[in-house]
Amino acid sequence: MVPWGRSYDEYLAMFSLSPENLGLKILGCGDGPAGFNSILSRRGGAIVSVDPVYAFSSEQIKERIDATFALVLEQTAGNSDEFLWETIPSVEELGRVRMSAMTEFLQDFKQGRAEGRYVAGSLPRLPFRNREFDLVLCSHLNEMLVVLPQAELFSQTG
Ligand SMILES: C[S@@+](CC[C@H](N)C(=O)[O-])C[C@H]1O[C@@H](n2cnc3c(N)ncnc32)[C@H](O)[C@@H]1O
């Protein structure tokens, strides 16, 4: 497991989320250690994140972050010409943004899991009722970036 999570602002930008979108009941699929759930919940949003990594404790996830973070950045630096450095200008800044998002997640995880905002589960079978959410967000899961109404996601995955 190599935890790698994006920030609230990155979620807003990559999904082009409007204030109306943020008022919907959202499922974040494969959110991992992203900071989106934590900040949106604090701002009054209704979001549940589902990811297999939530079966682990925050201590175990932090251990994996500490064990893999430097290596991921080192590999990114080795392939830096394959990335566009427009929004995030450098590998060092990328590290700061990612670590800040993952720290935000770690600080929220225990309470969020107790509140049912972080649910352990995996595609293709998710532990939710049909039409339980208005909007499903799923990013960087097998290099996929999609925004689908729930009905489409469930029909695609069976
Ligand atoms: C690269 S991380 C991306 C995290 C977050 N979406 C983001 O953009 O910051 C990919 C995540 O997908 C999760 N994942 C892998 N297989 C999955 C599956 N079958 N169902 C749901 N999540 C899965 C991983 O545990 C990991 O947290």
Q: Any residues with CB less than 8 A from the CB of 156 and at least 6 apart, and which?
A: 148
**DSSP class of residue 122?**
B
The pLDDT of residue 19 is 97
pLDDT tens for 43-59 read 999 999 999 999 999 99
Structure tokens at 80: 């830096």
The pLDDT of residue 149 is 54
Answer for the pair 15, 83: CB distance below 8 angstroms, yes or no: no
Distance of CA 51 from the midpoint of ligand 1 (Å) = 6
Residues with C-beta less than 6 Å from any ligand 1 atom: 4-6, 29-32, 34, 51-53, 122-123, 139-141
The sign of the CA dihedral 127, 131, 134, 139 is positive
Distance of CA 118 from the midpoint of ligand 1 (Å) = 13
pLDDT tens for 59-88 read 999 999 999 999 999 999 999 999 999 999
Of 17, 11, 21, nearest to 139 by C-alpha is: 11
Ranges in the chain, pLDDT < 70: 142-158
Residue nearest to atom 5 of ligand 1 (CA): 31
Q: Any residues with CB less than 8 A from the CB of 60 and at least 6 apart, and which?
A: none
The pLDDT of residue 141 is 82
Distance of CA 140 from the midpoint of ligand 1 (Å) = 7
d(CA 33, CA 82) in angstroms, rounded, equals 24
Q: Where are the domains of the chain?
A: 1-25+39-121
The pLDDT of residue 1 is 85
Please state the atom number of ligand 1 nearest to the C-alpha of residue 34: 9
The pLDDT of residue 145 is 44
The pLDDT of residue 154 is 46
Distance of CA 14 from the midpoint of ligand 1 (Å) = 16
Q: What is the crossing angle of helices 58-78 and 91-114, to 10°?
A: 160
